[in-house]
Amino acid sequence: MTTLTFDSLNPATGEVVGSHPKQSADAVREAVGRAEQAATWWAGLAPTERRRRLLDYKAVLTQHLKELSGLVHDETGKPVGDATLEIVLAITHLDWAARNAVKVLGRRRVSTGMIGLNLAATLEYLPLGVVGVIGPWNYPVFTPMGSIAYALAAGNAVVFKPSELTPGVGVRLAELFAESVPEQPVFQTVTGLGETGALLAKDPRVKKVAFTGSTATAKRVMAACAENLTPIVAECGGKDAFIVDADADLKAAADACLWGAMSNAGQTCVGVERVYVVDAVYETFMRELSDRVATVKAGEDYGPITMPGQLDIIRRHIDDATKSGKVVTGGPDSVRAPYVDPVIIEDVPEDSPAVREETFGPTITVRRTRDAQQALELANASAYGLAGTIFSGNARRAMELARLMRTGMTAVNSVISFAGVPALPFGGIGDSGFGRIHGADGLREFARPKAISRQRFAMPGMNLTSFSRGPADLERLIRLVTFLHGRRKR
């Protein structure tokens, strides 16, 4: 029987990078079956053994850093330096997950309170079994490894379906894992198009799905998962805002804003897309931003648009924005497939597609605001809620604005810095999805809480969970509860 294949292409040149199988329903089922057996073995290992193997995998990835960076460059078109950065971040997250899994998930005693004085109680987090990961193409190592590493550290086996645009990266990640864990297929990759991911999500033996992609696709994945009540963690798109306060360091703000918007050709879910600048510093900030953007070149400082279909969305947003806004840099002619030159447009209406919808390209809209409070209100007036940025010289006000920003993450006087802190959870709200990867929350995301209570001795004179309970037992209970909780607070 002939196996159907598909090619991954270099988006900058159109050259074939590799050819991969469109794995059939049988192939996906077999992979999940192998993972189910491997999960039992992996969960049965002592936590120290899992930790040792994961740290060895970290070393293997580090030893193959240049090879992986080259492969990411070939399949996404991004500069090798940017590819290197994302792999380094993935390695640091793998290290953190491996070293902290026992502390976060291990069994611990919890207080039983006065009512449960005769009990002992413990809480621990146990592996789910098989976790399915459906990854994106824009950061084909860092983003899926945020689920893969934490799921493995929590004691699960993983079946990974990478994007059809970056399958080679996904295949290589699993091959390198086998060097550290040759005994069982604890981490496997299946390749194919959208239907391959749907097959993985629908398999009842998959106990959780971690998905990264668009909001629309997340809804389809959720529908597939609903057939078996399979839980899902969804990291979807964003329309992140960047706020510049009146006392901000404007040179640093302009530099961070530009990188957050243009790096990876703007193809970053937590990238900068909307900029709100307080009136008092607007003109100065725009001069700083304009001077800097003149030195940034598509094809040199950042790569092509990886997914060809995204060019139509970028073009539509630019065309609409330029009808009512004022062009600072670029315009409709900036779209020259497969590249898009930097685009900055001022005074774009808040109800325009360029402000409301995710663009996912090297474009930003900039608006003048009365003050930081108005900037925050505009930033929060979005269906998305992934991340954002605050630049301010007042640390207290910056922290308050960051807390009030309706997002899962906010960076202060830096851009996207939270992604490099393994202890911080990563995820959004609203149309940006739900659930978390990274940090202790990310470890618990791929585990199930197990609560156990054990009676240490019988409670004399208060047998409450028995049909032999009498009025005196209830009276003693009422007196105890009144003593503990009956005093009003004024």
Asked whether the CA dihedral 367, 370, 376, 380 is positive or negative, the reply is negative
- Cβ(472)–Cβ(460) under 8 Å? no
The tokens for 23 are 């794995």
Of 269, 273, 288, 445, the catalytic one is 269
What 211-218 contacts at long range (C-beta under 8 Å, 24+ apart), as own/partner pairs, is 211/134, 211/235, 212/134, 212/135, 212/136, 212/143, 212/144, 212/147, 212/236, 212/269, 213/134, 213/136, 214/358, 215/431, 215/432, 215/433, 218/433
Helical H runs in 371-419?
Answer: 372-380, 395-404
- The counts of H helices and E strands in the chain are 16, 22
End-to-end Cα distance, the chain = 78
- Cβ(405)–Cβ(390) under 8 Å? yes
Can 235 be counted among the known catalytic residues? yes
Q: Which helix (H) or strand (E) holds 64?
A: none
Of 86, 164, 235, 445, the catalytic one is 235
The Cα-based distances of 375 to 173, 227, 309, 366, 388 in angstroms read 42, 42, 32, 11, 12
Can 445 be counted among the known catalytic residues? no
Closest CA to 119 of 465, 435, 391, 379: 465
Q: 368: which strand partners?
A: 277
d(CA 143, CA 438): 10
Catalogue the active-site residues.
235, 269
